[in-house]
Amino acid sequence: MDMNEIKNCAVIGCGVMGFGIAVVLLNNGFTVTVVEKDEQSLKRGLEHISKFYESGIKRGKISEDKVKDNLSRLKGTVKIEDIPYDSLVIEAVNEDLSLKQDVISRVESVISEESPIFTNTSSIPVIEISAVMRRPDRFLGFHFFNPPPVMKLVEVIPSLKTDERYISFAVEFAKKIGKEPVITKDTPAFIGNALLIPFILEAIRMYEGGISTPEDIDKACKLGLGYPMGPFELADFMGLDIVLAIADNVYRRTGDDRFRPSAKLRELVSAGFLGRKTGRGFYDYKKPKLFGIEV
């Protein structure tokens, strides 16, 4: 398994995380196939990639020639079977165990027996996802942080069945695409979200208890604790459905009260108020935005 032999990558799921992962891979010279569940979702995901690059050109972050070259290496499909045989695959679908297992089992029948398969899971143990695989030794977590084109961290999460060769490969691949890898045990929520989600949930409980407003709690965290975003701003940016899914996944597996979702969070998600991507979450937004781009 030679790092230099990897030319093709596939990203399954082109939502907030998937499209950002695709951008990272395109920026690093790979040919990228993005896979979505239907034509409408695929069109929306490809439009997000184009708009991200258009914004980058306007802000002088990337040249038109570079964008043209990147987009020439981008392909979209609604069929997992269209993924090139020699691809490195990164699964980035919703935080649902059965969905991830279905995707991974189908991927395994399409690509080379030696190609690595990564999951961008943010909370589900890798060993659970790999239960459907013939070759779980080549499977591990490769968790980007939002937004992937900006955030430097990638969590590398091997399961008990992951072969050491693939762990070493994942660490080197993260460095190759300009990220800083950390290795974490295969426990629910891993490192980042094990710290972040209880922080967000505690802030919501403070709000529910009438201690302060989302605006002032965010201000206190930014001005007093030095955080770049407050917990409510960050939750809206992540997507409240994502925050709830992570909290539910960990709480169900561990019973740890730090991850017990609040009634307010569940209420907002039930109402479809998911944060920036829908135009309303804990805050109201005139138009939904993704990385500062109106979508």
Q: Which of 36, 48, 87, 143 is catalytic?
A: 143
Active site residue 48: no
Instruction: Assess whether the previous peptide bond of 181 is cis (omega < 30° from 0).
Output: no
- Token representation of residue 61: 């972050």
Active site residue 8: no
Q: How far apart are CA 275 and CA 45, in angstroms?
A: 18
Q: How far apart are CA 116 and CA 135, in angstroms?
A: 10
Place of tokens 């002088």: 60
Q: How far apart are CA 12 and CA 78, in angstroms?
A: 9
Q: Which of 115, 120, 159, 193 is catalytic?
A: 193
Q: How far apart are CA 93 and CA 101, in angstroms?
A: 10
Q: Which residues contact 162 (CB under 8 A, 6 or more apart)?
A: 126, 136, 137, 138, 139, 140
Asked if 3 and 176 count as a contact pair (C-beta separation under 8 A), the reply is: yes
Active site residue 27: no
Q: Which of 91, 95, 108, 155 is catalytic?
A: 155
Active site residue 122: yes
Q: Which of 120, 122, 123, 249 is catalytic?
A: 122
Q: Which residues contact 84 (CB under 8 A, 6 or more apart)?
A: 8, 10, 31, 33, 111
Place of tokens 């693939």: 166
Q: Which residues contact 160 (CB under 8 A, 6 or more apart)?
A: 127, 186
Active site positions, annotated: 122, 143, 155, 193
